[in-house]
Amino acid sequence: MADTDAEMAVWCAGEDWCPITTTATLIGKKWHPVVIHRLLENGPLGFNALKEEVDGISGKVQSDVLDDLEENGFVDRAVVSEKPFRVEYSLTERGRSLEPVIVAMRDWGLEHLTAPEED
C-alpha cells in the first residue's frame, strides 16, 4: 500500500505545468474520477456494489482501476469477510482530498455539456 502521507512524485519537477500534468496523469484516466466520485457519494462499497454504481465498467477494468487507485494512495481495500470472501473499498484522506476537484469537474460538465442527440 502507498504511503498516503508522502508527497507524490512528479516526473517533470521544476516546471510550472508539472503539478497539472501529474494530477491529470493520476486522475485523468477514464474511470478513475468516476470511481472516486461514487466513493465520495456513497462511502465505502464492496466490489459488486461499486460496479452497480459505475454504469458501463467491466469487472476487469474496475479491478485494474481500484488496484491503480490503491497503489497511488487514493483508495483503501479492506477484507470485511472471509466466508464468503468480501472486500470493501473506501477513500483514503488523499482520495477524499480530491473532492473539490471532482465536484468542479461535475459542475463544469453540468454547465457546459449537453446530452447526445438521439437518432
CA neighbor of 24 nearest in space, from 101, 112, 93: 101
Whether the CB-CB separation of 89 and 50 falls below 8 Å is answered with yes
Beta strands 45-46; 85-91: pairing state: antiparallel
pLDDT digits (tens, 9 = 90+) for 6-46: 665 655 666 676 778 888 888 889 999 999 999 999 999 99
pLDDT digits (tens, 9 = 90+) for 49-70: 999 999 999 999 999 999 999 9
DSSP letters for 32-65 = HHHHHHHHHHH-SEEHHHHHHHSTT--HHHHHHH
> Which residue ranges form the domains of the chain, and what is each CATH number?
45-112 (1.10.10.10)
Residue for grid cell 460496479: 51
- pTM score of the predicted model: 0.82
